[in-house]
Amino acid sequence: MPLHKARISPMDRGFLFGDGVYEVMAKIDGRIRARSLHAQRLRSSLDSIGLETSVEQVFADVDRLTKKVGFSNAKIYIQVTRGPADARDHAFPSTVSPTIFLTVSAFEAVPQTASQAIVRPDIRWRKNHIKSVALLGNVLLMQEARESDAQEVILYRDEYVTEASTSNVFVIRGQKVVTPPLSDLILPGITRHLVIEIAQKLGILVVEDNIRVDSLSEADGIFLSSSTRGLLPIIALNPGGCVGNGELTSIFSALQDAYDERLRCYD
Ligand code: PDD
């Protein structure tokens, strides 16, 4: 239906509590990039919050919608919440009727230009492996970036880098690329997964290891990864100043070229 006709109850727990999860996928040349990985992550987010919904049915609805809308390049948003309840009670209602909200909007995957990031403490909750719709921490952090003329926020907890407010973090050190290991502190990014795969194919060593925030200023290069922005090179940090010599490294360019080339190949 047209967006302006969609109606959601004000008692929806997604609205009242942020009680829901989501996915964002890129459709490129008519195919959803890494569809099965997104489906798996949605399954895992739903399981983590104890919400029973058929992921197969959600993806069947996505297919119906994308077919109807017709864009061959699109951004697909999926949100599943625990639905409306009669009363505002923090604990789950006895009967749950999930709300499933899908949108398809026009989108072009374009190579990203050199950008800046602010570096801030990770103020979010402790279960960032769940793709929760409760994003107030991320919202406040991204607004701070916007007001500082930066395009992202690199986050750290207990002196170690976690991720960025809407993306995962990679640090280039010489011929090696380092990214924080998967844990409940970060989202298991689909693009992160693809970058690791691409690097392996190119013979570039990727190490999943903790990154001290005070080591960021010694990096030769930094880039961030997400489904919507692909690989986003960061050439300046605040605080921290210039990253490396302020230019894109050859490793980054090789990864970005390979990523762009293979964007269409991931089912
Ligand atoms: N964000 N970390 C966070 C906190 C994110 O919100 C995202 C994605 C990522 C990268 O994940 P992926 O590679 O699967 O897109 C990492 C999406 C794009 C969003 O919220 O719009």
Q: Please report, for the domain that includes residue 147, its CATH number.
A: 3.20.10.10
Residue 264 has pLDDT above 80, yes or no: no
- Is residue 99 in contact with ligand 1, taking CB distance under 6 Å? no
How close is the Cα of 192 to the center of ligand 1, in Å?
10
In this structure, are 100 and 122 located in the same domain? Answer: no
Residue-range definition of the domain harbouring residue 214: 115-262
Residue 204 has pLDDT above 80, yes or no: yes
pLDDT of residue 116: 98
Per the CB < 8 A criterion, the answer to whether 61 and 100 are in contact is: yes
Tokens of 60: 């069947």
Per the CB < 8 A criterion, the answer to whether 112 and 232 are in contact is: yes
pTM of the model: 0.97
φ, ψ for residue 265, nearest 5 deg: -100, 0
- Is residue 168 in contact with ligand 1, taking CB distance under 6 Å? yes
Using the Cα atoms of residue 86, residue 102, residue 36 and residue 234 in order, give the sign of their dihedral: negative
Q: In this structure, is residue 80 part of a structural domain?
A: yes
| Alpha carbon distance, N-terminus to C-terminus of the chain | 27
CA distance 203 to 30: 30
Segment 185-198, tens digit of pLDDT: 999 999 999 999 99
CA distance 167 to 27: 18
In this structure, are 89 and 197 located in the same domain? Answer: no
Residue carrying the six token digits 């395009």: 151
How close is the Cα of 34 to the center of ligand 1, in Å?
14
Domain limit, last residue, from 54, 86, 106: 106
Which residue in 27, 67, 75, 131 is the catalytic one?
131
